[in-house]
Copies of this chain bind each other. A is one copy, B any other.
Amino acid sequence: VAVTLKDIAEQAGVHLSTVSRVLNRKRPLQRISERTRLRIIEIANELNYQPNEMARCLRLKRTFTIGLILPDISNSFFSRIARSIEIEAEKNGYTVIICNSAEVPEKEHQLIDLLIQKCIDGLIITPVQRTPEQFEQLRLKNFPFVFMINHYENFKTNAIITDNHGDAFKATQYLIQNDHRRIACIHGRPDLIFNRQRLAGYQDALSAYQFPIIPAFQQECDFSVSSGCQGALTILSQPEPPTALLVTDNLLTIGTLKAVHQLELNVPDDVSIIGFCDDPAVDVFNPPITTISHPLDEIGQQAFALLMRTMHQKNNQDVTKIVLDTKFHLRESTTIWEV
């Protein structure tokens, strides 16, 4: 049913290769008589010709489509990054296929295969697989990809990340300096390096001040509000609960606030909270949460730009790791002792 080059060619009384040349006006080298050029364009418009990208890409070996694999697009942390990537992609004539790994390594593995079958030109991913094997394969095939947020130790590749250890360290230090002695940490799956680094930052800060690391003060959750709520309830229901919480994830922070309300605790008087939280509503939380906030737009922009560079370079030996700055945003969920 769709209109093809052949249809236009027939109607114009020329060969379809001529039509193709006219419609790919990129090369002004190709001289085509103004008369036929105009006629072809007119007919194409009249018939509302839309080139079949499937055929075009099969020929060109490029799809102008990139893949984006995230843990969960419904988490505003990721959806805002995704939006930023999409804006950049659009500016550059690329389309984005977004997929959710749901933090399931096997699923992520399949999604990568699927996207490659779909002939994406490149991939941006927050990897959740336990080892970088598959990415090693991709690199061997010279397939362009960049990591975002998460990456692997001892596996050098393009990545946009933040200083997770430093951020968690500083946040914990802030709590210590404000006289907290019983500080707990609610964190995500430690096999993801960014979670592990944040947890380590927390632990190292405690150690730096010669405080003990109490296992019962470390609660592992998965990426969800309900899991965060559950984790916080567990932590806060102990006989000697902590006076401060460091929550190292977006949704977990919301879950923690829910738990606190459920227990009818006062924040920050009963318990101080610092969250890794980039919710657009953080200002209207009760109370507004002191956060480590991430430059979401910039993460997306840089990830896309880095992918473009990777796609256009011949060999993928050059590797860039970009560490972006976060902001410590003081709000009302922490007792203010000294600043």
Contacts and interface: CB of A to CB of B under 8 A. Distances in A.
B1 A142 contact: yes
A39 interface: no
A141 B2 CA distance: 8
A119 interface: yes
A211 interface: no
A116 interface: yes
A95 B114 contact: yes
Interface string A53-72: 11101100001010000001
Contact of A225 (B55, B57, B63, B280): B280
A208 interface: no
A83 B120 CA distance: 21
Interface in A70-127: 72-76, 79-80, 82-83, 86, 95-100, 113-114, 116-119
Interface string A225-240: 1000000000000000
Interface in A112-156: 113-114, 116-119, 137, 141-142
A320 interface: no
A118 B95 contact: yes
A279 interface: yes
Contacts of A100: 83, 86
A52 interface: yes
Contacts of A72: 83
Of the candidates A54, A55, A117, the one having the most CB atoms from chain B within 10 angstroms of its own CB is: A54
Interface stretch (A26-34, A171-179, A281-289, A310-318): A281-289
Nearest to A283: B258
A233 to B, nearest CB: 14
A50 interface: yes
A169 B156 CA distance: 58
21 contacts: A50-B117, A52-B119, A53-B119, A54-B58, A55-B58, A73-B73, A73-B79, A73-B82, A73-B83, A73-B86, A73-B98, A79-B79, A95-B99, A95-B118, A96-B98, A251-B280, A254-B284, A257-B284, A279-B281, A281-B285, A286-B287
Interface of A: 1, 48, 50-55, 57-58, 63, 65, 72-76, 79-80, 82-83, 86, 95-100, 113-114, 116-119, 137, 141-142, 225, 251, 254, 257-258, 261, 279-281, 283-288
Given A50-B116, A58-B58, A95-B99, 14 more contacts: A65-B97, A65-B118, A72-B83, A73-B83, A82-B98, A86-B98, A86-B100, A97-B97, A257-B281, A257-B284, A258-B284, A261-B284, A279-B281, A281-B281
